[in-house]
Amino acid sequence: MTQLHTVKQGQGPLVVLSHALGCDLTMWDGVAAALQERYTVLRYDQRGHGQTPATEGAYSMDDLADDAAELIRAQGVGPVHFVGLSMGGMTAQALAARHPELVRSIVIANSAASYDAAARAMWQARIDTVRLNGVPPIADGALQRWFTPEFRADQVNGGAERVAKLRTVLEATPALPYAAACAAVAGIALDEGNARIACPTLVIAGSRDEATPPAMSQAIADRIPGAQLASLDAAHLSAVEQPEAFAQLLEGFWAGLR
């Protein structure tokens, strides 16, 4: 069992937040702050990220879903609202298909369900670079995909500061655990499981997301029965760039379930 590092805050129904590749639970600072008055917010570091130790060898998205399932069971409060972005959104898809009894609803933001051969080759190139030279050489490219240019340059409202903090998190991620996570992401094949997802589902796209373009969110929503699709004016890390708007989408979605 992977001992996941967690932070819990707030009061009300339990919401679990799962972060993107190369990030940690601090990615959710703005969203957690917006939700904590009405929800109990549980964030965690995925294996090999933040303060959660890495595991030996390769693993799959199913393993990350099982990590999340163990965490949810340990809370002892029944099914939860599970929210994941990018790699976290892939975790959400696998979790809902593998452990349907644990999720009251899922939110899949800025994510994908599968990759074609060209995309997998791109992932392999990134894995090779990181194994050879570490994570810092790929940081500039990652940050350009994660955020819009104006957010990266924003000195007034704190955008540039948030970008700098997440760059530090990314560059501190050890090479081998990062490469293992890349391999788990590159290997996703979630379409078949998505057709079986029975819980209420919200898919969030970033209209300016070049890492997982809106068409990928549309494909996920088309595959999951009854899924809703929404969009934010943001790049890949929409929950960091637009935390209040992201939280409003979540609360509106959950209000409709009552």
Nearest-angstrom CA–CA distance, 7 and 110 = 23
Q: Which two tokens stand for residue 198?
A: 């029975």
138-150: pLDDT as tens digits:
999 999 999 999 9
* Residue ranges for the chain with pLDDT beneath 50: none
Instruction: Just give the CATH number of 6-115+188-255.
Output: 3.40.50.1820
Predicted confidence at residue 2, as pLDDT, reads 79
Residues in the chain: 258
Using the structure block, give the residue that is written with the tokens 């940690």.
Answer: 24
3-class SS at 197?
coil
Predicted confidence at residue 53, as pLDDT, reads 96
Predicted confidence at residue 258, as pLDDT, reads 74
Q: Are strands 40-44 and 103-109 parallel, antiparallel or unpaired?
A: unpaired
pTM of the predicted model, to two decimals?
0.98
- Segments making up each domain of the chain, as ranges: 6-115+188-255
Nearest-angstrom CA–CA distance, 176 and 182 = 10
Q: Are 1 and 70 in contact (CB under 8 A)?
A: yes
Q: Are 2 and 68 in contact (CB under 8 A)?
A: no
Q: Which two tokens stand for residue 245?
A: 């708007």
Going by C-alpha positions, the residue among 83, 43, 88, 95 that lies closest to residue 181 is 88
List of residues 6+ apart from 29 with CB closer than 8 A: 243
Report how far apart, in Å, the C-alpha atoms of 234 and of each of 12, 93, 203, 239, 241 are.
Answer: 29, 22, 14, 9, 6
